[in-house]
Amino acid sequence: MDERLEKALDFSNYMVTLNNQKRMLKEKYNESLVYFSSGCQFTVTRELITFVGFLVDKGNTEDIVLTDDNDLPAKIADLEKFYEDILDVYFTASNRYNSAYEELKKNRKTETLVEHEEI
């Protein structure tokens, strides 16, 4: 095989593998952003954080009704704790995502992309 083509195909495989690993990291991140409260599931989004933060700032902290991921109402007894918990979920998941992504970027070969501990 032409050496130029061989090198290009190696790189092509590397890129596909890199993009696959990036995709799986993103999936893992999305799965880590889930928070459970009052028997309901909430995906921690920037919108949820902002809205809950706004309610807490306005002094609405007890027995507040939010809608969950299934658009069903859930009464949250202590919204301040809910707020702290979702922030914790967000930061933990985001920091893990960031460290894994940084590690991923360092790997320049297809083999090392799937061998690293953090990824």
Partner 1 sequence: MKKSKGAILIARNNGRLDYIKQAVFLAKRISHYIQIPVSIITDSKDYLLDKFDSSVFDDIIEIPWTDKNNYNRLFYDGSLSHKTAPFKNDIRDQVYDLSPYDETLLLDTDYIISNDLLKSCFDMNDDIMMFKESYDIAKSRNEKEFKYVSDYSVDFYWATVVFFRKTPENKIYFDLIKHVKENWNHYRRVYQIKSELFRNDFAFSIAIHIMNGFDKGDFVKPLPGKHYYTIDKDILWKIENDKMLFLVEKEKYLGEYLPIKTKGNSIHVMNKFSLERVIDKVANNE
Residues that bind partner 1 (CB under 8 A): 13, 16-17, 20-21, 23-24, 27-28, 30-31, 34, 36, 38-41, 69-70, 100, 110, 113-114, 118-119
The helix (run of H) or strand (run of E) holding residue 65 is strand 62-67
The DSSP code for 43 is E
The answer for residues whose C-beta is within 8 angstroms of residue 44's C-beta and 6 or more apart is 33, 34, 35, 86, 89, 90, 93
Longest dimension (CA), the chain: 70
What's the min distance (Å) between Cβ of 48 and partner 1? Answer: 16
Nearer to partner 1, 50 or 95 (CB): 95
Task: Tell me whether strands 40-43 and 34-37 are parallel, antiparallel or unpaired.
Answer: antiparallel
- The smaller minimum CB distance to partner 1, of residues 35 and 83, is found at 35
Give me the least distance between CB of 114 and partner 1, in Å please. 4
Residue among 12 and 50 whose Cβ is closer to partner 1: 12
Minimal distance in Å, beta carbon 36 to partner 1?
Answer: 5
Closest CA to 88 of 34, 17, 27, 12: 34
Rounded least distance, CB 57 to partner 1, Å: 29
Looking at beta carbons only, is 8 or 24 nearer to partner 1? 24
